[in-house]
Chains A and B, each alone.
Chain A
Amino acid sequence: MPIIEARGLARTFTSRKRTVHAVRGVDLTVEAGEIVGFLGPNGAGKTTTLRMLTTLLQPTAGSATVAGADLRRDPLGVRRRIGYVPQAIGQTMGGTDPECMVDEELLDQAALYRIGKADAAARAAALTAQLDLGGLDKRLVKTLSGGQRRRLEIALGLVHQPALVFLDEPTTGLDPQSRSNLWEHIRGLRSDLGTTVFLTTHYLDEADALCDRVFIIDNGVIVGSGTPDELKRQVSGDVVTLAVNGATDKARELLARQPIVGDVTVADDGGLRLNVVNGAEALPALLRVLDDASITLHSINLSRPTLDDVFLTMTGRSLRDDSPSATPADQPERQQPADKE
């Protein structure tokens, strides 16, 4: 049975007589043991969907089963079985109190799940070891580094050994070193603890490096899903660019006739640009064709699409143009201040 199954999940906010469709019918299936990424620009509906799945927000339509409990009928059952690590940027922070000590936070969190004192202490010890927080027990949260604090917040989401943990923007705001370190820890959650991880991100490299599967959300709807490789292939396949000495037209004609080649276009610099399904396998064949025709090759380059290309193809926008000022005026339904009621 899937650990998350959502059908037509939707959320509408009404503020100042304006209705904002933050999420417009999301279907999701996540299997136990997956690391799944929810990718989209700010305001796409990532956090709103996550808040619905974690019982912080009631859906205005749709249904979902999360960790075996029905989201609408048994929200308490959902809360018992999931871990949730809120995003640490924006309107609200990641959930730790700066004046608390590290071990106090872990033990308080365990008490919230009604875990007995001895078990709680054992869990806290295991988690501090797992997440590299050893020796920090008696430190105040405000004295931790950004990466340490984020790892503590993740540890809090794991105190009750949930089968499923939601991480909202786990690495946003961290320096590159702390980010890749945290990626290791997130992979460890699955490999060492068998935890299913559902994370949101607006970093393509993060989704690419970490996730088995990615859902791309834009404007409150899921516009694509699959493994990072599937998504990339879905876009346009690989791109081979090559330049030949003279004979460009002849080469173009020859190559266009090959069954493995899709479109052939002439690039601005006079080179040829070929779409192929699988570039690595296509290269030898292409080389042979040119060689047989005695056309000498000047340069050849194979580029695989990135998730950014995927995002561009699916939404017509680049994920990098993500700042609010770059939000096109023709998309008024993007949620802005109405995000939190």
Chain B
Amino acid sequence: MSFIHDTLVVFRREMRLSLRNPAWVVIVLVQPVLYLVLFGPLLTRLPAGTLGGSAGTGSAAAGAAAAYRFFVPGLLIQLGLFGSMFVGFAIISDWRGGVIERFRVTPVSRLAVMSGRVLRDTLVLVVQAVVLVLVSLAFGLRAPVTAVLISLGFIVLVAVGLASVSYATALTVKSEDAFAPMLNSVIVPLVLLSGILLPMTLAPGWLQGVARISPFRYIIDAMREAFAGHYANTIMLEGVLVAAGLAVVCLWLGSRVFVRENA
């Protein structure tokens, strides 16, 4: 199908350009480890039980395993938030370089200009997620393989949605100076309200209420359920619906910007 061909053409080009930049490759691989090394030790020192139900009461190793079962899903989402939402910067420079316009005058699918890039970003995030999980194992994480696979599924949905919306926003504002503050004003509240670093159950009632507006709140909760070995309950269902809904809505918004006749 031509759309898939076009997407792969754009994907190959973008992937090649990314891999050509050694700093980018190093940052992609080191970033997840940094989160783990610089923040993980704090969590393992929290009193047992703080991080939710299934905290081990026994040995230090069991405590650490429980801490990482809480912490790793949050880190995965945080990687996704930061990694995928910042991708729009690159398309502003591509637009300024005339590359977007050049593609739009060829018969290539205009949606593929976005989807090829989103595919690259999603693949990068999955690689980062796998690195994060592997290193976490070394730090003491113990989780079922099914849970890890479910989490990767969530990560893919989050990456697809956020990268699409990031490209669409960037291509609409066409200015780094406008895009950067927009990102900050969205990401910081999302990180705080999603319970990435600490469980939202510690929050007072009003804050828990406010946190309900963050879609990532539901996704993280579902991932934590999976890590705790619970795959079929309403929390999981909510997480799946929110993640899928987020991806679909963001893709739709993104495609509208890329497919429009005037740009």
Contacts and interface: CB of A to CB of B under 8 A. Distances in A.
A86 B2 CA distance: 25
B7 to A, nearest CB: 12
B106 A109 contact: yes
A57 B13 contact: no
Contacts of A88: 98
A79 B105 contact: yes
Contacts of A86: 98, 101-102
B105 A84 contact: yes
A104 B107 contact: no
Given A58-B262, A88-B98, A99 B103 contact: no
A82 interface: yes
Given A99-B21, A100-B17, A108-B9, A54 B105 contact: yes
B106 A94 contact: no
A304 to B, nearest CB: 38
With most chain A CB atoms within 10 A of its CB, the pick from B2, B95, B101, B103 is B101
A138 interface: no
Contact residues on A (Cβ < 8 Å of other chain), bracket: 20 to 34
Interface in B142-191: none
A56 B263 CA distance: 7
A93 B98 contact: yes
Given A97-B99, A99-B21, A100-B17, A113 B107 contact: yes
B229 to A, nearest CB: 46
B97 A98 contact: yes
Given A58-B262, A76-B107, A92-B95, A108 B101 contact: no
A111 interface: yes
B262 A93 contact: no
A97 B107 contact: no
A341 interface: yes
Nearest to B113: A112
A156 B20 contact: no
Interface in B1-49: 2, 5-6, 9, 13, 16-17, 20-21
A96 B97 CA distance: 7
Contacts of A97: 17, 94, 97, 99
A217 to B, nearest CB: 20
B23 to A, nearest CB: 12
A80 interface: yes
Contacts of B262: 56-58, 341
B102 A95 contact: yes
Nearest to B260: A58
A114 B101 contact: no
Contacts of A55: 104-105, 261
A294 interface: no
A177 interface: no
Contacts, number: 76
A91 interface: yes
A79 to B, nearest CB: 5
A92 B96 contact: yes
With most chain B CB atoms within 10 A of its CB, the pick from A96, A97, A109 is A97
B20 to A, nearest CB: 6
Given A99-B21, A112-B9, A341-B262, A92 B98 contact: yes
Nearest to A140: B20
A80 B105 CA distance: 8
A79 B107 contact: yes
B79 to A, nearest CB: 25
A56 B96 contact: no
A93 B231 CA distance: 51
B94 A111 contact: no
Contact of B105 (A56, A96, A98, A114): A56
B108 interface: yes
B21 A156 contact: no
B106 A112 contact: yes
Contacts of B104: 55-56
B101 A92 contact: yes
Contact of A108 (B2, B13, B95): B13
B97 A111 contact: no
Interface in A45-69: 54-58
A272 B21 CA distance: 70
B97 A93 contact: yes
Nearest 3 interchain pairs by C-beta: A95-B102, A95-B98, A112-B106
30 contacts: A55-B261, A56-B262, A58-B262, A79-B105, A84-B102, A86-B98, A86-B102, A88-B98, A92-B96, A93-B97, A95-B97, A95-B99, A95-B101, A96-B98, A97-B17, A97-B94, A97-B97, A97-B99, A98-B97, A99-B17, A99-B20, A99-B21, A100-B13, A100-B17, A104-B16, A108-B9, A108-B13, A112-B6, A112-B107, A114-B5
Interface of A: 54-58, 75-76, 79-80, 82, 84, 86, 88, 91-100, 104, 108-109, 111-114, 156, 341
Given A56-B104, A100-B17, 19 more contacts: A54-B105, A55-B104, A56-B101, A58-B262, A79-B106, A79-B107, A82-B105, A84-B105, A95-B101, A97-B97, A97-B99, A100-B13, A104-B13, A108-B9, A112-B106, A112-B108, A113-B106, A114-B2, A341-B262
